[in-house]
Structure 1
Amino acid sequence: MSFWVSLGFQMDPSSSKGLWNNPRATQYSKETQDLLRLMMQESRLTNLQRKQINECLKNGAALPLISDSTSSLSPCQPKKSKSVQNLLPGKPQRRTAESCRSGNSYAREQFRPGPTRDLEKEKRRLQNILATGQDEPIPASSPNVPACHNPDVSEERDHYQEVLDEIEERRRFLADMASLGQERQYINIISTEISQKMRELEVLDKARHPSKDTLAPKASAKQMTENVDLKDGSSDV
């Protein structure tokens, strides 16, 4: 039971009259006053509270029923933690050099070249414009050469030309070796390879033109073989 409630039991019953009535002054006995002083010491009241109670005892007035907020008997309220506020500085601060470099302010956009153009073709086009006043016309396809829309035919034609190029390459190689005087050690191998390539040409020609006479490829093959044999005989002499 609190101090103020215990004080209420020591009051005179005559003081419980109405608020607007004027009760007579209450006389506290000496024992009651000593008890109140002892309770004030144990309760550790403030000087202001003790002064108020002593005046009530002296004048015979009713003791206060509600304690002051400064009393030590009031429940301890938890201290509110002070929130740390990020206060803006009063004056603007300059950024350091490291903070400036860490951002993307100094990053340059990388150069990306556009699509390249054929400079020689552009020169010819400009020369044609300056000379004739017109752009370079697109060369029309020759009417004598039929357009090859079949991929198989174009592939066979490319292979046929490839075999011809290989035969010509071997002939040039023999001619180079003959100029150096070393054709004797290569002539047998090269002549065999040329004969194989000529047979391959005959097969390709039959596949392209089944009804066409294949005497021309045979004659050319025979002529190449004879040329190789003649070179071999001259080298032996």
Structure 2
Amino acid sequence: MCESLQMETSSQASASRGLWNSPRATQFSKETQDMLRLLKQESRVTSLKRKQINNQPKNETALPFTSDPAQSSPGKSVQKHWPVHTQKRTAKACRSGNSYEREKFRPGPTRDLEKEKRKLQNIFAHGTEQPGAGSSQKPPQHQSSEIPKKIDRYQEVLNEIQERQQFLEDMASLGQEKDYINIINTEISQKLRELEIMEKSHVPTFDTNAERTENAANKED
């Protein structure tokens, strides 16, 4: 009995849910259709998506709640721009680089300073670089002649001036020129003054003596 009732109930239920008894689809109002039309115009949708939206009110089917991610247009790649901050370098960082390094001083060939000092002392005291050089030289054979002595003295003064100039150049190469330049220039000035005196007073005497010697030789002939 119970089984027969259940069968009747199920048959009635299946009969009520026949092909022609399916639930009706949702109908859109005119406001909804106008809103969809406005959204289509304002939004950037593809032609396929727009066709689907146009067909849905005609078919009276519900609109999809979410869009298909596969059909959506890919978004534009956004490049990140990192902010640029200008940072000032500290004084320590600047000094740690090679910007402030000076060119290293490369001295020339070094000389023995003690030897140079002794050389200068000998020049001031004896007029020569070696103290015994002047005394060891043999005296000239004709010491009685006055003219050769004066000529030798003139050449000797010239040599002394050249020696002092050479000494200044040597000290300049050692970077010690300022310690001796005043003294050497004073010595050179004195020697030049001596040469001027010799040229004014003694040179005419040389010519007179030479003329007398030549005249005496002619008379003897």
- Verify same fold: TM over 0.5: no
Per the normalisation by structure 1, the TM-score is 0.27
Per the normalisation by structure 2, the TM-score is 0.29
Q: Greater share of helix residues, 1 or 2?
A: 2
